[in-house]
Amino acid sequence: MEKIKRVAVLTSGGDAPGMNAAIRAVVRSGISHGLKVYGVIRGFEGLIGNEIKQILSTDVSNIIQTGGTILKTARSEEFMTAAGRLKAYENLKSRGIEGLIVIGGDGSFAGANQFAKEHNFPVVGIPGTIDNDLYGTDYTIGYDTALNTVVDAVDKIRDTASSHNRIFFVEVMGREAGFIALRSGIASGAEAILIPEVEGQLKKLMKTLAGRGEIKKSSIIIVAEGEREANIWEMAELVRKEIPGSDVRVSILGHIQRGGRPTAYDRVSASRMGIAAVEALISHQYNVMTGLVNNKISLVPLSKTIKMHKEVNRDLLASVNQLI
Ligand code: F6P
Protein backbone atom coordinates (compact mmCIF):
# COMPACT_ATOMS: atom_id res chain seq x y z
CA MET A 1 0.00 0.00 0.00
CA GLU A 2 1.18 3.52 -0.79
CA LYS A 3 2.27 5.79 2.03
CA ILE A 4 -0.25 8.48 2.87
CA LYS A 5 1.16 12.01 2.38
CA ARG A 6 -1.52 14.58 3.19
CA VAL A 7 -4.16 14.59 5.91
CA ALA A 8 -6.73 17.11 7.06
CA VAL A 9 -8.19 17.75 10.50
CA LEU A 10 -11.43 19.45 11.53
CA THR A 11 -13.53 20.04 14.65
CA SER A 12 -17.28 19.56 14.46
CA GLY A 13 -20.38 19.92 16.66
CA GLY A 14 -20.17 21.49 20.12
CA ASP A 15 -16.69 22.67 21.03
CA ALA A 16 -14.95 21.09 24.02
CA PRO A 17 -11.90 22.16 26.06
CA GLY A 18 -8.94 20.09 24.88
CA MET A 19 -9.85 20.19 21.19
CA ASN A 20 -6.90 22.51 20.62
CA ALA A 21 -4.56 20.07 22.33
CA ALA A 22 -5.84 17.37 19.94
CA ILE A 23 -5.34 19.62 16.88
CA ARG A 24 -1.83 20.42 18.06
CA ALA A 25 -1.02 16.72 18.48
CA VAL A 26 -2.39 15.85 15.03
CA VAL A 27 -0.33 18.61 13.41
CA ARG A 28 2.92 17.89 15.26
CA SER A 29 2.64 14.12 15.02
CA GLY A 30 1.68 14.35 11.34
CA ILE A 31 4.67 16.56 10.56
CA SER A 32 7.02 14.32 12.51
CA HIS A 33 5.84 11.42 10.33
CA GLY A 34 6.58 13.45 7.18
CA LEU A 35 2.97 14.38 6.35
CA LYS A 36 1.51 17.67 5.21
CA VAL A 37 -1.32 18.57 7.57
CA TYR A 38 -4.30 20.71 6.55
CA GLY A 39 -6.81 22.38 8.82
CA VAL A 40 -10.44 22.77 7.83
CA ILE A 41 -12.20 25.84 9.20
CA ARG A 42 -15.77 25.48 10.62
CA GLY A 43 -16.04 21.71 10.43
CA PHE A 44 -17.99 20.09 7.60
CA GLU A 45 -19.32 23.51 6.58
CA GLY A 46 -15.77 24.59 5.77
CA LEU A 47 -15.06 21.29 4.05
CA ILE A 48 -17.96 21.95 1.69
CA GLY A 49 -17.02 25.63 1.34
CA ASN A 50 -13.36 24.80 0.63
CA GLU A 51 -11.99 26.61 3.72
CA ILE A 52 -8.91 24.43 3.93
CA LYS A 53 -5.34 25.54 4.59
CA GLN A 54 -2.04 23.93 5.44
CA ILE A 55 -1.05 24.14 9.12
CA LEU A 56 2.55 24.38 10.23
CA SER A 57 4.01 23.37 13.56
CA THR A 58 4.33 26.99 14.67
CA ASP A 59 0.62 27.58 13.92
CA VAL A 60 -0.22 25.36 16.88
CA SER A 61 2.18 26.95 19.35
CA ASN A 62 0.62 28.23 22.57
CA ILE A 63 -2.78 26.62 22.08
CA ILE A 64 -2.58 23.59 24.36
CA GLN A 65 -3.80 25.68 27.29
CA THR A 66 -6.78 27.25 25.52
CA GLY A 67 -10.44 26.21 25.37
CA GLY A 68 -12.56 26.41 22.21
CA THR A 69 -11.12 25.38 18.87
CA ILE A 70 -8.72 27.37 16.69
CA LEU A 71 -10.31 25.67 13.67
CA LYS A 72 -13.81 26.90 14.65
CA THR A 73 -16.72 24.52 14.58
CA ALA A 74 -20.22 24.22 13.19
CA ARG A 75 -23.17 21.87 12.93
CA SER A 76 -23.64 21.37 9.17
CA GLU A 77 -27.04 20.71 7.59
CA GLU A 78 -25.53 20.53 4.11
CA PHE A 79 -23.18 17.71 5.04
CA MET A 80 -26.27 15.63 5.73
CA THR A 81 -26.99 15.68 1.98
CA ALA A 82 -25.20 13.57 -0.63
CA ALA A 83 -24.58 16.70 -2.71
CA GLY A 84 -22.85 18.41 0.25
CA ARG A 85 -20.66 15.38 0.92
CA LEU A 86 -19.70 15.22 -2.77
CA LYS A 87 -18.50 18.85 -2.68
CA ALA A 88 -16.49 18.04 0.45
CA TYR A 89 -14.91 15.04 -1.27
CA GLU A 90 -13.96 17.06 -4.34
CA ASN A 91 -12.31 19.75 -2.22
CA LEU A 92 -10.18 17.17 -0.41
CA LYS A 93 -9.30 15.37 -3.64
CA SER A 94 -8.28 18.57 -5.42
CA ARG A 95 -5.58 19.09 -2.78
CA GLY A 96 -4.42 15.49 -2.79
CA ILE A 97 -5.60 14.97 0.79
CA GLU A 98 -5.89 11.25 1.50
CA GLY A 99 -7.19 11.08 5.06
CA LEU A 100 -9.49 13.08 7.32
CA ILE A 101 -9.43 13.37 11.12
CA VAL A 102 -12.73 14.47 12.65
CA ILE A 103 -12.77 15.70 16.25
CA GLY A 104 -16.36 15.70 17.51
CA GLY A 105 -19.30 13.77 18.95
CA ASP A 106 -21.73 11.14 17.70
CA GLY A 107 -23.57 13.42 15.23
CA SER A 108 -20.26 14.36 13.61
CA PHE A 109 -19.18 10.73 13.48
CA ALA A 110 -22.44 9.67 11.82
CA GLY A 111 -21.78 12.20 9.03
CA ALA A 112 -18.12 11.22 8.82
CA ASN A 113 -18.95 7.53 8.59
CA GLN A 114 -21.49 8.13 5.82
CA PHE A 115 -18.92 10.22 3.94
CA ALA A 116 -16.23 7.55 4.36
CA LYS A 117 -18.49 4.80 2.98
CA GLU A 118 -19.88 6.87 0.11
CA HIS A 119 -16.51 8.04 -1.20
CA ASN A 120 -14.29 5.27 0.10
CA PHE A 121 -12.36 7.97 1.96
CA PRO A 122 -10.18 7.19 5.02
CA VAL A 123 -11.56 8.83 8.15
CA VAL A 124 -10.50 8.65 11.81
CA GLY A 125 -12.58 10.13 14.64
CA ILE A 126 -11.32 11.63 17.90
CA PRO A 127 -14.04 11.79 20.60
CA GLY A 128 -14.50 15.44 21.56
CA THR A 129 -17.60 16.41 23.53
CA ILE A 130 -18.11 17.49 27.11
CA ASP A 131 -21.06 15.07 27.36
CA ASN A 132 -18.90 11.89 27.45
CA ASP A 133 -21.73 10.03 25.73
CA LEU A 134 -19.74 8.07 23.16
CA TYR A 135 -19.57 4.30 23.13
CA GLY A 136 -16.07 2.83 22.93
CA THR A 137 -14.23 5.30 25.11
CA ASP A 138 -14.17 5.85 28.87
CA TYR A 139 -13.53 9.57 28.40
CA THR A 140 -14.18 12.11 25.70
CA ILE A 141 -12.10 15.26 25.34
CA GLY A 142 -13.58 18.10 27.40
CA TYR A 143 -15.50 15.98 29.88
CA ASP A 144 -12.97 16.32 32.68
CA THR A 145 -12.72 20.09 32.26
CA ALA A 146 -16.52 20.45 32.21
CA LEU A 147 -16.75 18.35 35.39
CA ASN A 148 -14.28 20.61 37.15
CA THR A 149 -16.14 23.71 35.95
CA VAL A 150 -19.39 22.33 37.35
CA VAL A 151 -17.81 21.38 40.67
CA ASP A 152 -16.29 24.83 40.99
CA ALA A 153 -19.66 26.49 40.28
CA VAL A 154 -21.58 24.21 42.64
CA ASP A 155 -19.09 24.85 45.47
CA LYS A 156 -19.92 28.53 45.10
CA ILE A 157 -23.66 27.93 44.90
CA ARG A 158 -23.41 25.85 48.06
CA ASP A 159 -22.05 28.83 49.99
CA THR A 160 -25.11 30.89 49.22
CA ALA A 161 -27.51 27.93 49.51
CA SER A 162 -26.33 27.17 52.99
CA SER A 163 -26.27 30.84 54.07
CA HIS A 164 -29.95 31.22 53.13
CA ASN A 165 -31.12 27.68 53.96
CA ARG A 166 -32.18 27.21 50.37
CA ILE A 167 -32.80 24.28 48.08
CA PHE A 168 -30.98 24.80 44.78
CA PHE A 169 -31.78 22.95 41.58
CA VAL A 170 -28.69 23.15 39.37
CA GLU A 171 -28.97 22.14 35.71
CA VAL A 172 -25.87 20.79 34.00
CA MET A 173 -25.32 19.92 30.32
CA GLY A 174 -25.99 16.55 28.79
CA ARG A 175 -28.73 16.67 26.20
CA GLU A 176 -29.19 12.91 26.12
CA ALA A 177 -27.10 11.63 28.99
CA GLY A 178 -26.32 12.02 32.68
CA PHE A 179 -22.54 11.55 32.66
CA ILE A 180 -21.75 15.13 33.69
CA ALA A 181 -24.54 15.19 36.27
CA LEU A 182 -23.58 11.90 37.90
CA ARG A 183 -19.88 12.52 38.33
CA SER A 184 -20.10 16.24 39.15
CA GLY A 185 -22.94 15.49 41.57
CA ILE A 186 -20.80 13.01 43.47
CA ALA A 187 -17.78 15.32 43.42
CA SER A 188 -19.75 18.29 44.72
CA GLY A 189 -21.57 16.31 47.42
CA ALA A 190 -25.01 16.91 45.92
CA GLU A 191 -27.99 15.82 48.00
CA ALA A 192 -29.65 14.36 44.89
CA ILE A 193 -28.73 13.69 41.26
CA LEU A 194 -31.38 13.36 38.57
CA ILE A 195 -30.38 11.86 35.22
CA PRO A 196 -32.32 10.62 32.18
CA GLU A 197 -30.98 7.07 32.58
CA VAL A 198 -32.97 6.53 35.81
CA GLU A 199 -36.75 6.57 36.17
CA GLY A 200 -38.91 7.51 39.16
CA GLN A 201 -36.33 9.84 40.71
CA LEU A 202 -38.63 12.79 41.20
CA LYS A 203 -40.99 10.87 43.47
CA LYS A 204 -38.03 9.66 45.50
CA LEU A 205 -36.61 13.17 45.72
CA MET A 206 -39.89 14.59 47.02
CA LYS A 207 -40.03 11.89 49.67
CA THR A 208 -36.45 12.59 50.75
CA LEU A 209 -36.95 16.35 50.96
CA ALA A 210 -40.24 15.99 52.82
CA GLY A 211 -38.75 13.48 55.26
CA ARG A 212 -35.82 15.65 56.23
CA GLY A 213 -37.78 18.30 58.06
CA GLU A 214 -35.45 20.42 60.15
CA ILE A 215 -32.46 18.10 59.85
CA LYS A 216 -30.89 19.68 56.79
CA LYS A 217 -31.92 23.05 55.61
CA SER A 218 -29.99 23.55 52.39
CA SER A 219 -29.69 21.15 49.49
CA ILE A 220 -28.08 20.97 46.09
CA ILE A 221 -29.93 18.93 43.51
CA ILE A 222 -28.07 18.34 40.27
CA VAL A 223 -30.29 17.81 37.24
CA ALA A 224 -29.06 16.69 33.81
CA GLU A 225 -30.34 18.83 30.95
CA GLY A 226 -31.76 15.68 29.29
CA GLU A 227 -33.85 14.69 32.34
CA ARG A 228 -37.27 13.63 31.09
CA GLU A 229 -39.56 13.42 34.14
CA ALA A 230 -40.01 17.18 34.40
CA ASN A 231 -38.00 20.25 33.54
CA ILE A 232 -36.01 22.03 36.22
CA TRP A 233 -38.58 24.86 36.63
CA GLU A 234 -41.41 22.37 37.10
CA MET A 235 -39.38 20.52 39.69
CA ALA A 236 -38.67 23.70 41.62
CA GLU A 237 -42.37 24.61 41.51
CA LEU A 238 -43.35 21.17 42.77
CA VAL A 239 -41.03 21.47 45.76
CA ARG A 240 -42.32 24.98 46.55
CA LYS A 241 -45.86 23.65 46.56
CA GLU A 242 -45.30 20.41 48.41
CA ILE A 243 -42.65 21.29 50.97
CA PRO A 244 -44.09 24.01 53.19
CA GLY A 245 -41.65 26.78 54.00
CA SER A 246 -39.13 25.72 51.35
CA ASP A 247 -37.07 28.43 49.73
CA VAL A 248 -36.15 27.18 46.26
CA ARG A 249 -33.89 28.56 43.54
CA VAL A 250 -32.88 27.37 40.07
CA SER A 251 -29.47 27.81 38.50
CA ILE A 252 -28.72 26.75 34.91
CA LEU A 253 -24.98 26.55 34.36
CA GLY A 254 -25.23 26.49 30.54
CA HIS A 255 -22.34 27.24 28.22
CA ILE A 256 -19.75 28.08 30.87
CA GLN A 257 -19.38 24.29 30.96
CA ARG A 258 -18.07 24.32 27.40
CA GLY A 259 -15.32 26.87 27.87
CA GLY A 260 -12.18 27.44 29.88
CA ARG A 261 -8.66 26.11 30.15
CA PRO A 262 -8.57 22.36 29.67
CA THR A 263 -7.47 20.30 32.66
CA ALA A 264 -4.17 18.42 32.54
CA TYR A 265 -6.16 15.21 32.07
CA ASP A 266 -7.95 16.55 28.99
CA ARG A 267 -4.72 17.93 27.53
CA VAL A 268 -2.89 14.62 27.91
CA SER A 269 -5.79 12.48 26.64
CA ALA A 270 -6.29 14.80 23.66
CA SER A 271 -2.57 14.65 22.86
CA ARG A 272 -2.54 10.85 23.00
CA MET A 273 -5.64 10.61 20.83
CA GLY A 274 -4.26 13.08 18.28
CA ILE A 275 -1.13 10.98 17.86
CA ALA A 276 -3.17 7.76 17.70
CA ALA A 277 -5.39 9.22 14.96
CA VAL A 278 -2.41 10.08 12.77
CA GLU A 279 -0.84 6.69 13.36
CA ALA A 280 -4.11 4.95 12.52
CA LEU A 281 -4.22 6.71 9.13
CA ILE A 282 -0.55 5.94 8.45
CA SER A 283 -1.09 2.27 9.22
CA HIS A 284 -4.23 2.20 7.03
CA GLN A 285 -6.65 1.62 9.89
CA TYR A 286 -9.64 3.57 8.67
CA ASN A 287 -13.10 4.52 9.82
CA VAL A 288 -12.30 4.08 13.47
CA MET A 289 -12.44 6.25 16.59
CA THR A 290 -9.52 6.64 18.97
CA GLY A 291 -11.04 5.53 22.27
CA LEU A 292 -9.42 5.49 25.70
CA VAL A 293 -10.31 2.26 27.46
CA ASN A 294 -8.74 1.48 30.84
CA ASN A 295 -6.27 4.25 30.07
CA LYS A 296 -5.09 2.56 26.85
CA ILE A 297 -5.76 3.77 23.33
CA SER A 298 -8.13 1.45 21.50
CA LEU A 299 -9.46 1.82 17.95
CA VAL A 300 -13.22 1.30 17.72
CA PRO A 301 -15.08 1.12 14.37
CA LEU A 302 -16.99 4.36 13.79
CA SER A 303 -20.07 2.32 12.85
CA LYS A 304 -20.00 0.71 16.29
CA THR A 305 -19.62 3.91 18.28
CA ILE A 306 -22.56 5.41 16.38
CA LYS A 307 -24.80 2.37 16.80
CA MET A 308 -24.08 1.35 20.37
CA HIS A 309 -25.30 3.16 23.45
CA LYS A 310 -22.88 4.03 26.24
CA GLU A 311 -24.24 3.18 29.68
CA VAL A 312 -23.57 5.26 32.76
CA ASN A 313 -21.35 3.51 35.27
CA ARG A 314 -23.83 1.48 37.34
CA ASP A 315 -21.42 1.06 40.28
CA LEU A 316 -20.98 4.79 40.47
CA LEU A 317 -24.73 5.24 40.27
CA ALA A 318 -25.28 2.71 43.06
CA SER A 319 -22.76 4.49 45.26
CA VAL A 320 -24.82 7.68 45.27
CA ASN A 321 -27.35 6.33 47.79
CA GLN A 322 -24.62 5.75 50.35
CA LEU A 323 -23.18 9.23 50.01
CA ILE A 324 -26.30 11.25 50.67
O1 F6P B 1 -23.18 18.22 22.77
C2 F6P B 1 -22.70 18.98 23.83
C3 F6P B 1 -23.71 19.93 24.37
O4 F6P B 1 -22.96 20.67 25.24
C5 F6P B 1 -24.97 19.39 25.02
O6 F6P B 1 -24.82 18.91 26.30
C7 F6P B 1 -25.87 20.60 24.94
O8 F6P B 1 -27.20 20.23 24.99
C9 F6P B 1 -25.53 21.14 23.60
O10 F6P B 1 -24.18 20.82 23.37
C11 F6P B 1 -25.77 22.60 23.41
O12 F6P B 1 -25.46 22.91 22.10
P13 F6P B 1 -25.50 24.35 21.46
O14 F6P B 1 -24.29 25.07 21.94
O15 F6P B 1 -25.46 24.12 20.00
O16 F6P B 1 -26.75 25.00 21.94
pLDDT at 67: 98
* Residue 99 DSSP code: E
Ligand 1 centroid from CA 322, angstroms: 31
Beta pairing partners, 100: 8, 123
Check whether residue 15 and residue 81 sit in a common domain: yes
Dihedral class, residue 294 (left if φ above 0, else alpha if ψ from -120 to 50, else beta): left
Q: Do the domain assignments include residue 313?
A: no
Check whether residue 187 and residue 97 sit in a common domain: no
In ligand 1, which atom is closest to the CA atom of 255?
14
pLDDT at 27: 98
pLDDT at 321: 85
Q: Do the domain assignments include residue 318?
A: no
| Number of folded domains that form the chain | 2
Last residue within a domain, chosen from 239, 258, 277: 258
Q: Do the domain assignments include residue 323?
A: no
Check whether residue 267 and residue 134 sit in a common domain: yes
Check whether residue 117 and residue 266 sit in a common domain: yes
Check whether residue 12 and residue 138 sit in a common domain: yes
Q: Do the domain assignments include residue 21?
A: yes
Check whether residue 96 and residue 182 sit in a common domain: no
Check whether residue 283 and residue 134 sit in a common domain: yes
Ligand 1 centroid from CA 143, angstroms: 13
Output the domain CATH number for residue 240: 3.40.50.460
Check whether residue 100 and residue 158 sit in a common domain: no
Check whether residue 247 and residue 287 sit in a common domain: no
Q: Do the domain assignments include residue 317?
A: no
Output the domain CATH number for residue 32: 3.40.50.450
Residues lining ligand 1, Cβ inside 6 A: 14, 105, 129-131, 173-175, 225, 258
pTM > 0.95: yes
Tell me the residue range of the domain where 194 lies. Answer: 143-258
pLDDT at 151: 98
pLDDT at 1: 76
Check whether residue 89 and residue 167 sit in a common domain: no
What is the residue-level pLDDT of the chain in tens, covering all 324 positions?
788 999 999 999 999 999 999 999 999 999 999 999 999 999 999 999 999 999 999 999 999 999 999 999 999 999 999 999 999 999 999 999 999 999 999 999 999 999 999 999 999 999 999 999 999 999 999 999 999 999 999 999 999 999 999 999 999 999 999 999 999 999 999 999 999 999 999 999 999 888 876 666 899 999 999 999 999 999 999 999 999 889 999 999 999 999 999 999 999 999 999 999 999 999 999 999 999 999 999 999 999 999 999 999 999 999 998 888
Check whether residue 114 and residue 157 sit in a common domain: no
Check whether residue 106 and residue 17 sit in a common domain: yes
Residue whose Cα lies nearest atom 15 of ligand 1: it is 14
Where b means 16+ CB within 10 Å and e means fewer, 109-138 reads bbbbbbbbeebebbbbbbbbbbbbbbbbbb
Quickly list H helices, 143-263: 143-164, 179-187, 201-212, 232-242
